[in-house]
């Protein structure tokens, strides 16, 4: 999506509020389901575009929900333990702007444990 907005804009304040609610919910309820089919269903409810036709998407990281509306995971996609999928990045050198970008894990793509995926990244079919 490639959008840039001020760090003090309404959308950033709303996003920060959403992050606080998501963190509270995740820390107390959903973190124990990481790596299960139930967690992938939770991701879909939160706004992640997940291809669940075959049920073979595997996600073992709460960090995949940092910006759920910016993440797409296709069939066979895998996100390892403690991986972070950032749909936004703060850039202080441009007057406090926040840049957004979609993250796409294509068919059979793999994000390793503790990997960091930045905005605008696309893992092609079978890539890791």
Do the domain assignments include residue 38?
yes
pLDDT reading at 30 higher than 80 = no
- Full domain range(s) for residue 43: 4-123
pLDDT reading at 94 higher than 70 = no
Q: What is the pTM of this model?
A: 0.77
Do the domain assignments include residue 128?
no
Do the domain assignments include residue 114?
yes
Confidence of residue 77 (pLDDT cuts 50, 70, 90): very high
pLDDT reading at 1 higher than 70 = no
Residues 6+ apart with CB under 8 A from 72: 48, 49, 50, 102, 103, 104, 105
User: Can you tell me the distance from the alpha carbon of 47 to that of 63, in angstroms, rounded to the nearest whole number?
Assistant: 14
Do the domain assignments include residue 37?
yes
Do the domain assignments include residue 72?
yes
Count of the separate structural domains present in the chain: 1
């Amino acid at each position: 999506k490639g959008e840039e907005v001020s760090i003090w804009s309404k959308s950033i304040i709303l996003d920060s509020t959403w992050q606080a609610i998501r963190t509270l919910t995740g820390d107390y309820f959903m973190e124990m389901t990481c790596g299960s089919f139930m967690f992938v269903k939770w991701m879909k409810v939160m706004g992640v575009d997940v291809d669940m036709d075959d049920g073979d998407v595997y996600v073992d990281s709460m960090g995949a929900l940092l910006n759920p509306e910016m993440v797409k995971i296709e069939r066979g996609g895998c996100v390892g333990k403690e991986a972070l999928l950032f749909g936004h990045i703060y850039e202080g050198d441009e007057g406090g702007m926040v840049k957004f970008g979609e993250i796409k894990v294509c068919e059979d793509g793999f994000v390793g444990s503790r990997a960091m995926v930045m905005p605008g990244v696309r893992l092609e079919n079978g890539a890791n």
